[in-house]
Amino acid sequence: MFISFENHGQNREDSRLHVAIIMDGSGRWAQARGLPRMEGHRAGRAAVRRAVAAARERGVGVLTLFTFSTDNWGRPEKEVAELLRTFEDFFLLDAMEFVSRGIRVTAIGRRDRLPDSLCEAIAGAEAACEGHAPLHVRLAIDYSGREAILDAARRFPQFSDASAESFAHLVTGAESSAAPVPDVDLLIRTGGEHRLSNCPLWEIAYAELYFTPCLWPDFGPSDFDTALREFGTRHRRFGRIPAVVS
């Protein structure tokens, strides 16, 4: 199944969508079943695999998964440790399987506070599939949209090209020789909440927002399709309106 939304892009060369997902509700999913919260996060890992497969089948170009924010360090220490181990298992196993299928997997966010073993697993997956791929999956780990913009602002004076594009390079973490990641077209949040939670703020400036009560571990291809169909009904003007012909 391939879905094209060429009329929804911002006049960029690659018309494939950039979809971002705030994956919320895993802990509540587990608690509703009388299970430890960590069981919900493990079930959420399976939902990530389904989302990646669905994105690839539907011709999505970039899939950004908002996984662990800087604020999540305030959760119980045991839960944080279990989450970090789950991320490591993902990059050692799931990500390498994706890479073998021609999918690029990277991480955005701080790495100085992550365990060395997790950083090594991330680096291994990133090195295994460098450059262009039909689908680029990005996991935001220890990520803050505000901090990303602030860090870019600190480094921006070093750039001679004071343009929005060069600033976007810094915000999105792109190498100076690489094109920045396209803006987010569609932002999905699961779990029923209606807030952005410090997600990639620069990239969602003109994103269409879609909120669903579906808890993340239950999110599947049909839910992905529902969000895409809703996106397809939106008329994106990017602040402009067509000229009136008299």
Predicted pLDDT at 79:
94
Residues 9, 184: Cα–Cα separation, whole Å: 10
Indicate the domain borders of the chain.
Answer: 15-233
Phi, psi at residue 32, to the nearest 5°?
A: -65, -20
Express each pLDDT in 67-121 by its tens digit: 999 999 999 999 999 999 999 999 999 999 999 999 999 999 999 999 999 999 9
Express each pLDDT in 43-73 by its tens digit: 999 999 999 999 999 999 999 999 999 999 9
Residues 114, 92: Cα–Cα separation, whole Å: 15
Give the chain's mean pLDDT: 88
Long-range Cβ contacts of 36-41 (<8 Å, 24+ apart): 37/79, 38/79, 38/82, 38/83, 40/215, 40/217, 41/82, 41/83, 41/86
Residues 156, 150: Cα–Cα separation, whole Å: 10
Predicted pLDDT at 129:
85
Q: Known catalytic residue: 71?
A: no
Mean pLDDT of 215-240: 92
Residues 245, 6: Cα–Cα separation, whole Å: 24
Express each pLDDT in 17-34 by its tens digit: 999 999 999 999 999 999
Predicted pLDDT at 177:
44
Identify the residue with better confidence: 10 or 181: 181
Task: Indicate whether 2 pLDDT > 80.
Answer: no
Kindly indicate the confidence band of residue 176, based on its pLDDT and cuts at 50, 70 and 90: very low
CATH of range 15-233; options 3.40.1180.10, 3.90.550.10, 3.90.740.10, 3.30.930.10: 3.40.1180.10
Mean pLDDT of 124-128: 95
Task: Indicate whether 126 pLDDT > 90.
Answer: yes
Catalytic residue among 72, 89, 151, 225: 72
- Which DSSP category does 10 fall into? -
Residues 148, 64: Cα–Cα separation, whole Å: 15
Share of the chain above pLDDT 70, in %: 86
Task: Indicate whether 215 pLDDT > 80.
Answer: yes
Catalytic residue among 11, 24, 151, 223: 24
Predicted pLDDT at 175:
46
Q: Among 58, 65, 66, 67, which Cα is nearest to 17's?
A: 58
Q: Where are the alpha helices (DSSP H) in 101-234?
A: 116-128, 145-155, 164-172, 221-233
Predicted pLDDT at 75:
94
Q: Among 14, 11, 10, 44, which Cα is nearest to 26's?
A: 44
pTM for this prediction: 0.88
Q: Known catalytic residue: 72?
A: yes
Identify the residue with better confidence: 3 or 227: 227
Cβ(186)–Cβ(231) under 8 Å? yes
Identify the residue with better confidence: 195 or 237: 195
In angstroms, how far is CA 83 from the centroid of its own chain? 17
